[in-house]
Every structure is written in structure tokens, then in C-alpha cells.
Amino acid sequence: MISRRKVLKSLGLTALSLPSLTGNSIASDLSASPSFPAVDDPTFWKGVRNQYMLSKDQVFFNTGTVGAMPRVVAERMNHHVNYMASNVADWAYKDDNAERFIAGYQHLLFIRNKVAKLLNCDAKYIALTDNTTNAMSYIAQGMELKAGDEIITSNQEHGGGISSWKVREKRDGAVVKMLEIPKPIQSKEEVIDIIVKAFTPKTRVLMLSHIISGSGAILPAREICAEAKKRGIFTVLDGAQTTGHIKLDLTDIDCDAYVGCFHKWIGAPAGTGYMYVKPEYIKDLWTTVASYRWDNHEDEGFRFTQRGTGNFSVLEGLDAALDFYFQIGPDKAFERIKFLGDRLREGLRMINKVKIYSPVDNAMCAGITVYNIDGFTGTRLQDTFWEKAKMRPRASGDVFGVRHCTHIFNSVEEIDKALSIIKQLAS
Ligand SMILES: Cc1ncc(COP(=O)(O)O)c(C=O)c1O
């Protein structure tokens, strides 16, 4: 078994130089040592923080909008931008899948294989997209739906998740039914009950956020999908807020489709997303953005990955971000994110005049906490955090205050400082 010193060294924690964060050796080292690093090990997590370029005098609590890139990600991407600018003439174009020059024409299996590992599914059924919105649109626009077919969803979906279904409603007469999900949610049974009661013989699709962006609620995806499956309903989950946040296992969840992005919790450059569709459904999904091999059913993920010329430098950054995430390890990243989120929620519960809109059952929460202080609007609270301590959570509307995200680069000190500001404002 690997020693603690060796792991720290591999992550650059004992060296001042830029660490080499490529390859998967460290990931297996960390997972071979379940108790290390501890979620509150200050040396280890400070070292992780040092892998980020985030300004030292600013505190970033807004991963739910766009994540902070580790230094290695920015460097890989920038290196490729410079390489393209200097060496484009050197590139003898040969429609060759090994080429790493332009996205949108290549199979990109070197990345899709890593995404398959992240999601625990087959890379053949993963397509790379530009973001979650594109991925959801490919699914909604690609399905055969007729007038009267029901799409069940919630009142708390992001515009990028729900709008493509509304297009189908307007264009084809499909019916989008938006269920009222409470805020805060009390328990997972409460949500399952609301959803299952809404199913009718006309329900064709169930589309839900796996983590609701406006409350941080982790929905009981496996249980909900199992209920839908019993009734032959196609399930699609929006994983924009889950990917890199909680550990994902699509084989276990057993949904029919899943979409998400890497530019939030994975820390990849903006403009990186994906979709997964089960083999038994993907063949029947029409291509929305079509290129040469639009009718190729041998590599279904590639059929949807072809989207014309794209930015390969961004994909180099994505590749580095996935490696970085695997080096920390999905379990360790989740434990740290949740540990900090739990500390924040515990502190908030002890402050009078604070209302928390994240679920009451803490097992349904991890790195997103939504709360407000009596008398504040979200914008006022957001601005006050910045004025007082250069802290950046994001306003979540007049009623719901702010959405406060915790990530592996955040520290216990940052959470405690935020809590002391809230205490002061609430007194
Ligand atoms: C739940 C959810 N779905 C979809 C989106 C849109 O994601 P993207 O910008 O990757 O299209 C977001 C963005 O915040 C989100 O939170």
C-alpha cells in the first residue's frame, strides 16, 4: 500500500513546482487508502486548494453556475491554443480519429472512455455536447412524441432542462405537466409520492433534475426511475449539478437517459457537456445536429458527438479536468464537498432569522445550500458577502436568498467566516 507521504508528494503538496496531474495512478492510490485523506485533514486540502489559480483574497462559493478550473486544466487548454496558433500548417488533415485538432468530427473515445468511467456506463452510448442544454435538446427534439403524450417534470427545473420539452408542447401538442415540489423538501418519500401519483397512462416521459439547482436537493433517482420503469415511462435526468459533485452510477440508477456538463463541479472549461442514452433507446433517437455519419448506428455516441467544427483546446482542458478529478477520487471529492456543506447547514440552523430552503433531510443535501436571512433579498445578501469579505455565493431570488456552494478548494475557515458574517447580519 502506498504511503501517506507518497500520495501527498504525488499531488504536489510537498513540492513547490507544478505537479504532474496526468494518468490515473494517484486515483488508485487514494482509493486503496479509504481513510486517507480525512475530510478535515488541513494539510491535504490546503494542498488541493493550491492546485487552483483562484485569487487568494477571494472566496468562491458559486460552483453551481460555473466551476473554478484547476491550474493544470487552464495550462493544458492554453498550451493547445498556442500550439494551434503556431502549428496549424503542420497538420496534414486526413479525417483521422487520432487527430487532436478539431472537435465535432472525431470519435473522441479517449475522453468518452473517461466519462464512461465517471458515470459507470458504456462509452458507446455517451455523446459529448457543448453543455447540458444542448444535450437535453438532442433528447427532447430527437424523440417521437405525438399530441397528448405527457411529459412529467417539476416546477423547479432549470430553463436549459425544461425548455426543449416546452418546444415539443407548442410544436406537437405534447403536454408538459409541472409538478409542485416543495421548498424545502421534507424527505425523499414526499417527492416520490408526488411524482408517482402524477403518472397516468398517457405519461411518456419523466424529466427531472437529479440535483435541483435552486435548492440543492438530491432526488432519489433510483427509486423514482424504478417506479417509472414499471409503467413503461422513459426517464431522463438532468445532471448539470451532479457531475463531479456526487458519485454517479447510471447502471445502478437505471435511468433511460442522463445529461450533464463538466464546466461546473468537474472544473472543466466552459462549453463541455454530455448525454447518455441507453442502447435500447438511442437507435430510435433522431439526430438534431446532423453531419456525415448522422445515420451511423455502430457508434451511437459518435452519431451525436458530430456537431461540426469545435474547440479542441477546450477538450484538452476537459481531459485534464477529468484526470484531476479521478486523482482526488469521486468518493473523496464528495466526502469533502458534503463535509463543508454540512458544516455550513449546521451553523445556519443555529442562527435565528435564517431560513434554509435546502431539504430538511440532510441525507438529501451535499454541496449546495440555499438560504436567506429575514429582511434580505438575494441580491442584497450576495452583494453584502462581497463587500464584507470578497465571498461569492450567488443570489437565488428575492425570497430564497443565496445559493451557497462548497467545493474541494473551499476550507473550514471560509465556511466559519461566512457563518460569522451571517450571524452578524441576522443580529
Ligand atoms: C439543473 C440545471 N440544468 C441545466 C443547466 C444548464 O446547464 P448548461 O449551461 O450546461 O447548459 C443548469 C445550469 O445551471 C442547471 O443547474
Is residue 216 in contact with ligand 1, taking CB distance under 6 Å?
A: no
Closest CA to 402 of 376, 424, 371, 426: 371
Helix, strand, coil percentages (3-state) for the chain, rounded to 5, are 45, 15, 40
Tell me the C-alpha distance between 270 and 317, whole Å. 10
What is the pTM assigned to this prediction?
Answer: 0.94
Q: Which residues of the chain have pLDDT under 50?
A: 1-3, 13-29
Query: What does the alpha-carbon distance between residue 182 and residue 360 come to, in Å, rounded to a whole number?
Result: 11
- Domain boundaries of the chain, sorted by first residue: 84-324
Find the 376 Cα to ligand 1 centroid distance in Å: 26
C-alpha of 191 from chain center: 21
243 C-beta closer than 6 A to ligand 1:
no
Residue 23 Cα to ligand 1 midpoint, Å, equals 29
**What's the pLDDT tens digit per position in 247-279?**
999 999 999 999 999 999 999 999 999 999 999
The confidence score (pLDDT) of residue 328 equals 96
Quick one: pLDDT at residue 86?
A: 94
Beta bridge mates, 154: 179
Which pLDDT belongs to residue 79? Answer: 97
For residue 143, what is its C-alpha cell? Answer: 424523440
pLDDT of 9 reads 55
Instruction: Give the H/E segment covering residue 354.
Output: strand 354-356
Cβ of 378 less than 6 Å from ligand 1: no
Q: Which of 209, 210, 213 to mutate to test the pocket of ligand 1 (most atoms within 8 A of CB)?
A: 213
pLDDT reported for residue 97: 56
Alpha helices in 350-407 (DSSP H): 378-389
Report CA(147)–ligand 1 centroid distance (Å): 27
Residue 23, number of CB atoms within 10 A of its CB: 11
Measured CA to CA, the distance from residue 396 to residue 324 in angstroms comes to 30
**CA of 412 relative to ligand 1 center, distance in Å:** 27
Which tens digit of pLDDT belongs to each residue from 5-25? 555 555 554 332 224 433 334
The closest residue, in CA terms, to atom 7 on ligand 1 is 132
Cβ of 273 less than 6 Å from ligand 1: yes
Selection from 176, 172, 178 nearest residue 142 by Cα: 172
Assess whether the C-beta atom of 238 lies below 6 angstroms from ligand 1.
yes
Ligand 1 and 160: CB distance under 6 A: yes
Atom of ligand 1 nearest to the CA of 260: 10
pLDDT, position 34: 64
C-alpha cell of residue 340? 463543508
Ligand 1 centroid to residue 240 C-alpha, Å: 5
Distance 63 CA to ligand 1 centre (A): 12
pLDDT at 23: 36
**Nearest atom, ligand 1, residue 157 CA:** 1
CATH fold group of domain 84-324: Aspartate Aminotransferase; domain 2 (3.40.640)
Q: Ligand 1: which residue has its CA nearest to atom 6?
A: 160
